[in-house]
Chain A
Amino acid sequence: RKEVEQDPGPFNVPEGATVAFNCTYSNSASQSFFWYRQDCRKEPKLLMSVYSSGNEDGRFTAQLNRASQYISLLIRDSKLSDSATYLCVVTGNYGGSQGNLIFGKGTKLSVKP
């Protein structure tokens, strides 16, 4: 079983659309969860941490369900600049935010005019 699984994508959506990304993880000991975005041939950039209570940052909402080992990201009113690959990331063996990160393969999003 893959450690972090994501929708394979790609998602091609018009500007203004709402897009949902889903992710499952296999290590129940993981303690920290994140969404990163990665532009082509660039480094991963932290988009947001994900908390059990759910959290929102502007147009972005993240949810975590520990019982189901499921993480989601919702982007509302998508912009052209949201086009990127979205990476679901969890902490590995050591847990906590000092632990190594385990990345999903990512879901590519293309927002069209």
Chain B
Amino acid sequence: EPEVTQTPSHQVTQMGQEVILRCVPISNHLYFYWYRQILGQKVEFLVSFYNNEISEKSEIFDDQFSVERPDGSNFTLKIRSTKLEDSAMYFCASNPRGHEQYFGPGTRLTVT
């Protein structure tokens, strides 16, 4: 069964550094998403991406964040200058048109 994959599984970085989180969505899916979950809190929407552009973003997704689909398979989330409060699990999800969203295993980001 096809799955969403994410790398790395755990990323440790220092405050102020840039990080790139990578995702490979399910191959025939058209919509892609990033969510985050701070430890002990609910899953929160960050951004959705369709047809090579952002279709929707939350107030969390400020100028420090960007997304890109550099080729036909990868979907990346970049945080330009990490803050302590960016420490969280980051989940990528994908969605074939008109169906439910399927989540990757997540990247745990720890900012020190």
Query: A residues within 8 Å of B by Cβ?
Result: 32, 34, 38, 41-46, 49, 87, 92-94, 96-106
How distant is the Cα of A93 from the Cα of B93 in the complex, in angstroms? 17
The answer to whether A103 and B55 touch across the interface, beta carbons within 8 angstroms, is: no
Residues in A whose Cβ lies below 8 Å from that of B41: 105
Whole-angstrom distance between the Cβ of A101 and the nearest chain B Cβ: 6
Binary interface profile of B, 80-112, with partner A (CB < 8 Å = 1, else 0)? 000000000101010101111111111010000
Interface of A is mostly: loop
Q: Are A97 and B43 in contact (CB under 8 A)?
A: no
Query: If the complex has contacts A97-B95, A100-B58, are A45 and B103 also in contact, measured as CB distance less than 8 A?
Result: yes
**Which residues of A lie under 8 Å from residue B33 when comparing CB positions?**
100-101
Q: A94 near B45 (CB under 8 angstroms)?
A: no
Interface size of B by CB at 8 A reads 28
Find chain B residues with CB under 8 A from A41 CB: 89, 108
Looking at the assembled complex, report how far the CB atom of A68 sits from the nearest CB atom of chain B, in whole angstroms: 22
User: Contacts A46-B102, A100-B48 hold; do A87 and B43 have CB atoms under 8 A apart?
Assistant: yes
Residues of B contacting A92 in the complex (Cβ-Cβ under 8 angstroms): 45, 56
In whole Å, how far is B73's beta carbon from the nearest beta carbon of chain A? 19
* B42/A103 in contact, CB under 8 A: yes
Which of A43, A97, A104, A105 counts the most chain B CB atoms within 10 A? A43
Within 8 Å CB of B103, what residues of A?
43-45
CB contacts (< 8 Å) of B101 on chain A: these are 46, 97, 101
Contact B106 A43 (CB under 8 A): yes
